[in-house]
Amino acid sequence: MARVHFVAAHFGGQVPWVPCISSDKHHVTFNYYNDSNTPSRHLSMHPRFKSKIPKMLEWKFVDSEWYVWMDSSIRPHKDIDIADKVLEKTGDKPICLFKHSFVNTIREEALRTLSMLKDKHGYHSIRYSGEPILDQLIHYYGDPDFIDNKLFSTSFFAYHRSQSDLMQKWFNEVVDWSLQCQISFPYVLHKSGIEYELFDGYSNGSNELFTWDWPNREKNLTEGWEGASNYAE
């Protein structure tokens, strides 16, 4: 029996739903950070950035063997033991993720994001406007040891506590560069040399673990502030 801790966050509106997480085979805990149980820190921290703390640093606050991040658009399937399925797929690897569903490298993702910003695409503009994404890409490509050959979705992933240093480095990259954490993760993962596993399917498409219900999640974000849909993770 393993200790598996699930974590999610939703800031900027009412929680759209509360997933039911249970297991007959493992000891499961679940933290769901939201406006009702988390200090706002509105004078010092944007809500979207605030969500990166539980996403990457939950190991600092909760003692567990495994951590599973899922953003607030995730609806776990009710007829499965999701903790057991996650650990079964992870196997002997210390981290397990979904492959990105659109492109395969951080260069492609960065250029796609920059193109969307240039075209004033709403989804990207309210998330990444003002972020130094091109400088970040140039910085990573200036590292002679970096090979740009992988990209992941970061809306759902699992990692072992032994990877806390990797998570800290990822958080540091977000602080140093941009909130586009899909760009920074492949860099820190490659630099670490850590082996990983991939879940089957895609996080925003068909998979055996959950349904991605982003449209209904977005309806539960506060109207009135520009870029309100930044806030949930």
Task: Give the pLDDT confidence of 202-233 residue by residue, as tens digits.
Answer: 999 999 999 999 777 776 665 433 333 334 45
Phi, psi of 223 (to 5 degrees): -85, 155
Give me the pLDDT at residue 122, please: 81
Specify whether the CB–CB gap between 66 and 161 falls below 8 A.
yes
Q: Mention every residue, 6+ apart, whose C-beta is less than 8 A from residue 232.
A: 9, 10, 11, 12, 13, 51, 71, 72, 73, 217, 218, 220, 221
Tell which phi-psi region holds residue 91, choosing left (phi > 0), alpha (psi between -120 and 50) or beta: left
Q: Is the pLDDT of residue 15 over 60?
A: yes
Q: By percentage, how much of the chain surpasses pLDDT 70?
A: 93
Q: In a 3-state reduction of DSSP, which class is residue 84?
A: helix
Q: Which CATH class is domain 3-104+149-230?
A: alpha beta
Q: Is the pLDDT of residue 192 over 80?
A: yes
Q: By percentage, how much of the chain surpasses pLDDT 90?
A: 83
Give me the pLDDT at residue 217, please: 75
13 or 170: which leads in pLDDT: 170
Q: How many CB atoms lie within 10 A of CB 41?
A: 13
* Angle, CA of 133, 213 and 119, to the nearest 5°: 35
Task: Give the pLDDT confidence of 66-105 residue by residue, as tens digits.
Answer: 999 999 999 999 999 999 999 999 999 999 999 999 999 9
Phi, psi of 27 (to 5 degrees): -85, 115
List the single range of 40-44, 137-141, 195-199 with lowest mean pLDDT. Answer: 40-44
Q: Give, as one character, the DSSP assignment of residue 67.
A: E
Task: Give the pLDDT confidence of 112-143 residue by residue, as tens digits.
Answer: 999 999 998 887 888 899 999 999 999 999 99
Give me the pLDDT at residue 225, please: 32
Q: Exposure string (b/e) for 124-134, b if CB count within 10 Å is 16 or more?
A: bbbbbeebebe
Q: For all residues of the chain together, what is the average pLDDT?
A: 92
Q: Where are the domains of the chain?
A: 3-104+149-230
Give me the pLDDT at residue 219, please: 67
Region 1-23 average pLDDT: 93
Specify whether the CB–CB gap between 218 and 82 falls below 8 A.
no
